[in-house]
Structure 1
Amino acid sequence: MLALRRLLLSTAIAAALGSTAAAATQPELGVRDGKIITVEGLRFRDLDRDGKLSPFEDWRRSPEQRAADLVGRMTLEEKAGEMMHGTLPAVGGGVPGRGQGYDLAKLKPLILERNVTTFITRLAGDPAWLAEQNNAVQAIAEQGRLGVPVTISTDPRHHFQFVDGASVAAGGFSQWPEATGLAAIGDDTLVRRFGDIARQEYRAVGIHQALSPMADLATEPRWSRISGTFGEDPALVGRMVKAYVQGFQGGATNLAANGVSAVVKHWVGYGASAKGFDGHNSYGRYAVFPAGQFDLHVKPFDEAFAAGVVGVMPTYAILKDLVLDGQPLEPVGAGFSRQLLTDQLRTKHGFKGIVVSDWAITNDCSETCRNGFPAGQKPSFAGFSTAWGVEDLAKVDRYAKGVNAGLDQFGGVEDTAELVAAVKAGKIPAARIDDAARRILAIKFEQGLFENPYVDAKAATAVVGAKAFVAEGRAAQSAALTLLENKNGLLPLKPAGKKVWLKGVSAEAARAQGLVPVDDLAQADLAIIRTATPFQTLHPNFTFGSFQHEGDLSFKDGAADYEAIKAASAKIPTIVAVYLDRPAILANVRDKAAALIGDFGSSDEAFLDAVTGKAPPRGKLPFELPSSMAAVEAQAEDAPHDSKAPLYPIHFGLTY
C-alpha cells in the first residue's frame, strides 16, 4: 500500500510539472559565471541567482509553463526586449553584422540594458572560431537579471549565391545547390536530409534559428530573389518547404530539442513583385495579381504549417488592389496588415507560432530610402527602411500598428524604448506583449537553451564541414544540374587526354578529371564555358538596387561571355552551362551550344563530375525558361509558367 501511495504521489507530481519520464533525466548544464543549485538530487541553473528553484528554472516543467512563469516575472522593458530581433554587431566590415568578430562592447548594453535576446549573425569563418564567438554572446546574456539566453539566427549559409541581406557566405559549412537546385532534383527525402545536416552544423556553432525557407512562388521571371525559392510550381514548392522544415526542426510536425527553429517566408505573395522589382526597395514595394492567383501563393505555406513550422516572416510588399473575403486590403506592407497576419494567418490558417517581421520595417524612411541616393554618392545602409505604406507614421505608431496587426517580433531593430512607449500610451494592450513574449521564450525553453546555451568549439570542427556532409552536398550539386541540350550525344564526356579551352572553369579541376586545358582555341578539341543569367542594374542609386539583378534576361552581343560562346562554338563543339539565378533566355545560346546545362549552384568539381558522367545530372527545371523578353513582359506576375511558347517548359530535363 505504501508503495502504491508513493507511485500515485510521484505520478501526481509529474503531472503537475507537465513532465514525462524522459524529462526526469538530468540535462547537461552550461555555466560560465552563474550558479547551480541542487534540489532533490537534481541540478538546475539558478538563472536569477536567488538561491531558490523558480518554476522557469525547473527543466522538469513544460516549455509553456516555464515561459508563462518567466513572463510573469519580467518588467515591461524586458518583455519589449524579447520582441526585438537585432543584429549581432561586428568589428569592421561595411555591412551591419559582417566583420572580424563580434563587437562585445557594443553588444553588452543591447543585452543587459535593452534586454534584447534574439540576434541574427552575419559572421562567417572557421567553425571553432564561430562557436567561440557565439559562446561569448551567451556569456554576456548569463549576466542578465533573469539569465535569458540568446537565440542566434542566420540567413541561409549552405549555398553558392551570396547577397547582402539575403544570404551568408558558406565558410566552413557543407555546400549545397541553391533551393532552386534542390527543387530541380525534386526529392523530398534529400531535402529533409539537407535540412538535417544543416541543423547539425548550425547547432554545433551555436545557431538556433533559420530565417528560411522561402515558400514564395517564383512566378515573375525578372525577380531578383528567385534562387532562394523552390521555383514556381505550387505543389513542388509545398513538398520542398515541408521537407526543409522537417529537416531543420528535427521533427515531422514539431520542433525537437536539438532542432533549429525555421521561419518560413515571406507571407504572402512576394514572388508576384511588380516587374520583378524587389520589395527591399521603395520602387519595388508592390506585389500585383493581374491573373487573380493569390490563393496559389498561399498553398506552399500550408505545407509549412503542416510540418509545425515555428515562425513566419511577412513580406515587405504591399499587395496592391487585392480583395480578400470581400474586403479591400489596406495598402500597407504585410507586417502592418491585420487582415494578412490575424485574419488570414492566425484565424483562417490556424498558425500558432511566432510572427517576426522582415528587416527594418519600423525605421524612419529618409529621402534616400524613398528616392535613392544622390548621383555620385555610393549607396549604403544609412537611413535604410522598408516601412511601406506607413512611412509618414511616427515610429512609436509603426510599432503599435505592427503589434496590433499580429507581429510578435521586429526584425533588424533594437528600439525597445519606442515599443515600451506605445504600451504606456495605451496604443498596444499589455496582454499582447505578454502573449508575444511567451511565444518567443517557449521556443528557447523547447531548444534547451535555458539549460545550456554553450557549444563545444572542438566538436564544432568535427561536425561542420564533415567529409560525409561535404560529399553529400557535392553529389547534390551534380544531381541538380539540368541537361537542356546534348547534341550528337556529346555528354557524358570521355575526358582522357581531351584538350579543352575553358572559361569560368578551373584548370586545376579540369586536370583532376583527366582533361588537358589549353589556352588556344585552335589547339582544343572542345570548349567548356560557365556563365550566368544576364542582368541589368536599373536602380544603382538604391541600397539593394545597386547590387540586385534586375531587368533583361537575354544574352546580348558585346557581353564578354556571350562573345566567348560565339567565338568558341564557331570552331569547336562547345559545352555551355548557365547559372540560373533567374530564368535565362537562351534562344541565341541554344543554337551555338553542343551541350547546354542549367546550373543551380555547383563547384567546378561537381560540375565536371556531371559532365564526365561520374555523377550524372538529373535535374528538371523548377521554372520555365522563356523564349523572349517580349514573352516575359506579357506574362502575369502572379501566374506560374504562363509565358507564351517557352523555350524550355517547366520540369524539362534530359538524362544521359
Structure 2
Amino acid sequence: MKEQKLTSLVNEMTLDEKIAQLTQLATPFFKGASDGGQITGPMADMGITDEMIENAGSVLGASGAKEVKNIQRKHLEDNRLGIPLLVMSDIVHGYKTIFPVPLGIGCSWDLELAEKSAEIAAKEASASGVHVTFAPMVDLVRDPRWGRVMESTGEDPYLNSEYARAFVRGFQGNDLTTEKDRVAACVKHFAAYGAAEGGRDYNTVDMSERELRENYLPAYQAALDEGCEMVMTAFNTVFGIPATGNKKLMRSILREEMGFDGILISDWGAVKEMIPHGVAEDEKEAALKALTAGVDIEMMTSTYVKYLKALVEEGQLDESLIDEAVQRILTLKEKLGLFENPYRGADEELENEIVMSAAHREASRELAAKSAVLLKNEGVLPLKKDQKVALIGPFAENGDILGPWSWLGSKEDAVTVKEGFLQKIDPSQLAVAKGSDIETITEEQIKEALEAANDADVIVLALGEDSDMSGEAGCRADIKLLGAQLELIQRMKELGKPMVSVLFNGRPLDLHGVWDQTDAVLEAWYPGTEGGAAIADLLFGDRNPSGRLTMSFPYSAGQIPVYYNHFNTGRPKGAPDAQERYVSQYLDIPNSPLFPFGFGLSYTEFTYGGMKLSREKMTCEDSLEISVTVTNSGSVSGEEVVQLYVRDVSGEVVRPLKELKDFEKIKLEPGESKEVSFIIREEQLRYHHSDLTFTSDPGTFIAYIGGNSRDAMEKSFTLLK
C-alpha cells in the first residue's frame, strides 16, 4: 500500500475514526486480551467507549504471540476499515532474556555487544507479537539521584550518541519491511529529561538553548540519523513549556531542523499533565496544544478522543493536522507490513524456541561480565578456587538483579550469585548467609553471618539497592548504601578477613562505608538474567574485568552534579596563582569525584607511552593523527579502553576542560604492546557558539590519551584558519 493508497484510506475515514487512530490504550481495554477487556481502577474513569476502542490505533503492553494474535484478530473484526493495531511495549534492556541495565551496558564500551543485545531483544519481542519498543532512552544524565539514570548510558554526549546508533541498529535491523524479526525503535525522552532539577523525576528542566544543543540533542540526532521510527516526548519543561505541548521544540527543532518525519508519541499521561503544569486550563486546551505541537499519539489519557472533534468543528484546529498525524501512523503500519499480515512476526512455535534460548543467555552473560566495573582491588581478587568463601548479604541468593525496567524478566530465571559460585567451587567451600535485608538488620542475621564467615578465607558481600529504589520514580536524595548494609560491613570487618563487595544498583552511589572498608569493590549494576554467573566468572578470574565508568561516582551527594566535562572557573582550584581559600572549592570535601568517568581496574596493568602527533598545526582541510603505545605490563591477558579527549583552550564561549572524542577497546596479552591511533578532523572541534552557530575557532587545543578522563598523557596542537 503506497502513499497514495494511504492517503485514500485517510480520506475514507470519518473524523472520529481518525482521532481514535491517535489514541493509545493499554492491553486491558481490548476484547481479545486475556482478561476479556475488563477495565477497573483509574482506567475505568477515562471515559473510553467501545467505538473508541474499536478504532484505536495502538495497544500498549500486549505481549505473547497467542494474546497479541487474539487482540489483533478481534480488533480487525470490529474495525470498519480493517486497520490493524500497532503493538507497543517497554523492551528496554531485554524482552525475556534480560541484559544489564543500559548504564551497565554503557560501561562495557562495547558497541557491537550493545547492538547485539538490542537485536536479541527485538527477535524475542517480535516473535511474541510486539511491533514497537519504547527504547532507547538516550537522555544525558549528570545527577545520580535521578532514578532513571539506570536507563541512560551516562554523562557524555559523544558516547551516548554512539550507543543510540547501536541500539537503533539492533532493534530495527537494516529494513523493517523485510526483517520481520525486528521491531521499530522509539527514542526517548525528547528532550533533556535527564536534567530534571534536584534529580527528581518529572521535575522542571531549565537550561539555555545553547546547552541543550551542545550536550543534550546530539544523542537524539544520532538515533534519528540511524533511522529511528518514533520519538517519545519528555515529561519535563523545555524553555518553560512542557515538552508535550512545546511547538518550538517539536515542530521547529525536532521536525524542521533535525529532519524527523516519523511518529511522535506522548509519554504515559503527559498530554493531560499539561493542566497541573499550568499551561492548559482543561483537557480541551491540553489536547489542542499537544496536537498543535505535533504529538501524533496520546498515550493513556483521552483528551484527543474527547475534544479534537469539537476543536475542529469550532474552527480552533485545522483537520489537516489530524490527517497528517494519521498518515504518519499508517505509514509505519505499512512499513511493518501490517496491512498484508497484521500478525507480523507473532509465532508461538518460534517464541518457544528462541525466547530465553541458551544462545541468548550466553550473550547476556558475556555482556554482564563486560559491563561490571572493578573499582578497587587490594590484592584480594581474583579469588582462588581452593579458598573457603563466605558469601554474605541481601543479594547472595536474591534474583532481584534484573533491574526496574525488566518488564517480562523473571527473578526466578535469574542466576543468583550463590548459583554462580557453585558453578566454580564445591559446595563444601561455600558458606552462605543473608547477613541483613536491604534496609534492615537483626542480631540473628548478624550471628548467622559471623558463623558463615568464621572458617572462611575470604568474605564476599553481595550488597545493593532493591530494584524499586531506581528506575522511573525511583529517585533518592541519599545515595549511600542503606544503613543496615553499612552496619553489616562493619561487623564483618571486625573479623579481620579479606573482604570483597559486589554492588547491585541502578546508579552511581556514594560509596563511603564500602570502598574504604573493604579490600575490593566490583560494581555489577543490575546485570540481568545471567548476572550471578558473570560475577562468578569475574571474581574467580575466568574473565578479566574490562568495564569502565560512563558516569562519575561522586565523593559525596553534595557535589552533584559532578561530571568530567565541566567548565573551568575564573578561580579554579589548583591553578598556579590560586589563593588557598578564594577559589572554587568545597571546604569539607574534594571537588573531584571519587571515581571519574572512564575509570575501571583490571587484573593486569596497562602502561602508556610514546604519545605523538603527526603534525602540530592543522587546517580545516587537514586531519591530525594522534597515537600512543599501550603495553600490558601485567601477567594476565586483559582489555583496555584507550580514550581520546580534547580541550579547546580558548573559545568564543567557555569550553569544557575535556571532551571525549574517540575510543578503542583493545585486548593485549601479557607483555604485548600496541600502537593505537586516532584521527582528529576540524569538524570534531566544532561547538555551538553564543549565536548558536556550529563552528570551530582557530587556536590551541590539547589532546589527551589515557585509560580514563583523569589519568592521561597530553600534547597540544593548533588549528589554523
TM-score normalised by L of structure 1: 0.74
1:456 corresponds in structure 2 to 347
1:373 corresponds in structure 2 to none
Q: Is residue 539 of structure 2 the alignment partner of residue 611 of structure 1? A: yes
1:524 corresponds in structure 2 to 456
Q: Is residue 17 of structure 2 the alignment partner of residue 78 of structure 1? A: yes
2:364 corresponds in structure 1 to 473
What are the residue-to-residue correspondences of 1:412-491 with 2, within 5 Å?
Answer: 412-415=300-303, 416-454=305-343, 455-488=346-379, 490-491=380-381
What are the residue-to-residue correspondences of 1:190-589 with 2, within 5 Å?
Answer: 190-251=113-174, 258-279=181-202, 284=203, 286-289=204-207, 293-295=211-213, 296-319=215-238, 329=239, 331-363=240-272, 385=273, 387=275, 389-390=277-278, 392-415=280-303, 416-454=305-343, 455-488=346-379, 490-503=380-393, 504-506=395-397, 507-514=418-425, 515-518=429-432, 519=448, 520=451, 521-532=453-464, 548-555=474-481, 559-571=483-495, 572-589=497-514
Q: Deviation of residue 641 (structure 1)?
A: 12
- State the Cα RMSD in Å: 3.1
Report SS of the residue matched to 2:514: helix
Distance 1:233 1:577 in 2: 25
Q: Is the 8 A contact 1:112 1:141 kept in 2?
A: no
Q: Is the 8 A contact 2:389 2:460 kept in 1?
A: no
1:135 corresponds in structure 2 to 69
Q: Is the 8 A contact 2:155 2:563 kept in 1?
A: no
Which of the two has greater strand per residue? Answer: 2
Distance 1:111 1:399 in 2: 20
After superposition, the Cα gap between the structure-2 partners of 1:70 and 1:639, relative to the gap in structure 1 and judged at 3 Å, is farther
Distance 2:302 2:349 in 1: 32
Q: For each residue in 1:385-421, what CA deviation from the matched residue of structure 2 results, as whole angstroms up to 9, or x when unmatched?
A: 4645346522122111111111111112345132222
Q: For each residue in 1:487-540, what CA deviation from the matched residue of structure 2 results, as whole angstroms up to 9, or x when unmatched?
A: 12x2221223523242121344433321412551222221111222599999xx
Q: Deviation of residue 174 (structure 1)?
A: 1.1
Q: Is the 8 A contact 2:510 2:555 kept in 1?
A: yes
Report SS of the residue matched to 1:590: coil
Q: For each residue in 1:594-644, what CA deviation from the matched residue of structure 2 results, as whole angstroms up to 9, or x when unmatched?
A: 1101122222222212211223321110100011122126x5999699992
Q: For each residue in 1:185-235, what CA deviation from the matched residue of structure 2 results, as whole angstroms up to 9, or x when unmatched?
A: 111211111121111111101000011111100112211110001111111
- Matching residue's letter, 2:298: F
- Matching residue's letter, 1:510: F
- Matching residue's letter, 1:312: V
Q: Is residue 56 of structure 2 the alignment partner of residue 120 of structure 1? A: no
Which of the two has greater helix per residue? Answer: 1
Consecutive unaligned residues in structure 1, runs of 5 or more: 1-60, 92-96, 124-129, 160-169, 320-328, 364-384, 539-543
Report SS of the residue matched to 1:140: helix
TM-score normalised by L of structure 2: 0.68
Q: For each residue in 1:287-318, what CA deviation from the matched residue of structure 2 results, as whole angstroms up to 9, or x when unmatched?
A: 13389632211111110111011111121111
2:600 corresponds in structure 1 to 653
After superposition, the Cα gap between the structure-2 partners of 1:406 and 1:312, relative to the gap in structure 1 and judged at 3 Å, is same
Distance 2:29 2:34 in 1: 5
Q: How many residues align?
A: 524
Distance 1:139 1:243 in 2: 34
Q: Deviation of residue 69 (structure 1)?
A: 2.3
- Matching residue's letter, 1:481: A
- Matching residue's letter, 1:119: V
Distance 2:165 2:568 in 1: 22
Q: Deviation of residue 591 (structure 1)?
A: 1.6
Q: Is the 8 A contact 2:62 2:130 kept in 1?
A: no
Q: For each residue in 1:241-276, what CA deviation from the matched residue of structure 2 results, as whole angstroms up to 9, or x when unmatched?
A: 111011111128999555311110111111111010
Q: Is the 8 A contact 1:83 1:409 kept in 2?
A: yes
- Matching residue's letter, 2:371: A
Q: Is the 8 A contact 2:54 2:75 kept in 1?
A: no
Distance 2:180 2:51 in 1: 24
Q: For each residue in 1:106-145, what CA deviation from the matched residue of structure 2 results, as whole angstroms up to 9, or x when unmatched?
A: 599657655112011166xxxxxx2111111111121111
